[in-house]
Amino acid sequence: MYKYHNLNPISKVGLDEFTKDYAPVSTPETADAILVRSAAMHEMEFATDLKAIARAGAGVNNIPLEKCAEQGIVVFNTPGANANGVKELVIAGMLLASRDIIGGINWVQENEEDGNIAKDAEKAKKAFAGQELQGKKLGVIGLGAIGVLVANAATHLGMDVYGYDPYVSVDSAWRLSRSIHHTTNVDEIYENCDYITVHVPALDSTKGMIGKDALSLMKEGVIVLNFARDVLVDSEAMVDALVAGKVKHYVTDFPTPEIAGVKGAIVIPHLGASTEESEDNCAKMAVKEVMDYLENGNIRHSVNYPDCDMGLRGDKTRILVLHHNVPNMIGQISAVLAKDNMNIADLTNKSKGKYAYTMIDVDSEVQEGVVEELKQIGEVLRVRVIC
Ligand X SMILES: O=C(O)C(=O)COP(=O)(O)O
Ligand Y SMILES: NC(=O)C1=CN([C@@H]2O[C@H](COP(=O)(O)OP(=O)(O)OC[C@H]3O[C@@H](n4cnc5c(N)ncnc54)[C@H](O)[C@@H]3O)[C@@H](O)[C@H]2O)C=CC1
Q: Which residues bind ligand Y (CB under 6 A)?
A: 57-59, 79, 82-83, 86, 141-147, 164-169, 172, 199-202, 205-206, 227-229, 253, 270, 272-273
- Segment 271 to 310, residues that bind ligand X, using CB under 6 A: 272-274
For ligand X, the binding residue among 38, 71, 192, 348 (CB under 6 A) is 38
- Segment 81 to 110, residues that bind ligand X, using CB under 6 A: 82
In the complex, minimum distance from the CB of residue 155 to ligand Y, in angstroms, rounded to a whole number: 17
CB 93 within 8 A of CB 227: yes
Which does residue 38 touch among ligand X, ligand Y, none (CB within 5 to 8 A, set by kind)?
ligand X
The residue (of 176 and 273) whose beta carbon lies closer to ligand X is 273
Site for ligand X contains 348 (CB under 6 A): no
The residue (of 130 and 255) whose beta carbon lies closer to ligand Y is 255
* Mutual angle of helices 117-124 and 101-110, in 10-degree steps: 150
Site for ligand X contains 37 (CB under 6 A): yes
CA distances to 39, 229, 230, 260 from 254, rounded to whole Å, are: 14, 7, 6, 9
Residues 222-261: x where in contact with ligand X by CB under 6 A, - otherwise, as a string: ----------------------------------------
Do the bridges between strand 355-362 and strand 317-324 make them parallel or antiparallel, or are there none, so unpaired? antiparallel
Torsion from C-alpha of 34, 35, 41, 43, nearest 10 degrees = -20
CA distances to 77, 78, 321, 323 from 357, rounded to whole Å, are: 18, 20, 6, 6
**Using CB under 6 A, which of the segments 56-64, 122-130, 159-167, 295-303 binds ligand X?**
56-64
The residue (of 146 and 322) whose beta carbon lies closer to ligand X is 146
The residue (of 7 and 86) whose beta carbon lies closer to ligand Y is 86
The residue (of 213 and 276) whose beta carbon lies closer to ligand X is 276
The residue (of 11 and 358) whose beta carbon lies closer to ligand X is 11
Neighbours of 364 (CB within 10 A): 15
Residue nearest to ligand Y (CB): 144
Name which of 356, 287, 214, 227 is nearest 16 in CA terms.
Answer: 287
Region label for 102, one of left (φ > 0), alpha (ψ between -120 and 50) or beta (otherwise): alpha
Cα distance between residue 193 and residue 196, in whole Å: 6
Neighbours of 236 (CB within 10 A): 11
The residue (of 115 and 166) whose beta carbon lies closer to ligand Y is 166
The residue (of 50 and 251) whose beta carbon lies closer to ligand Y is 251
Beta-strand ranges (E) seen in the chain are: 2-6, 22-24, 33-36, 52-55, 74-76, 137-141, 160-164, 181-182, 195-198, 222-226, 247-252, 265-267, 317-324, 344-352, 355-362, 380-386
**Using CB under 6 A, which of the segments 54-62, 104-112, 147-155, 298-306 binds ligand X?**
54-62
Neighbours of 239 (CB within 10 A): 18
What's the distance, CA 100 to chain centroid?
A: 31
Q: How far apart are the first and last CA of the chain?
A: 13
For ligand X, the binding residue among 34, 35, 41, 58 (CB under 6 A) is 58
Site for ligand X contains 51 (CB under 6 A): no
The residue (of 274 and 349) whose beta carbon lies closer to ligand X is 274
For ligand X, the binding residue among 3, 25, 59, 384 (CB under 6 A) is 59
The tally of CA atoms less than 13 A away on the side-chain side of residue 358 is: 24
Which does residue 37 touch among ligand X, ligand Y, none (CB within 5 to 8 A, set by kind)?
ligand X
Q: Which residues bind ligand X (CB under 6 A)?
A: 37-38, 57-59, 82, 272-274
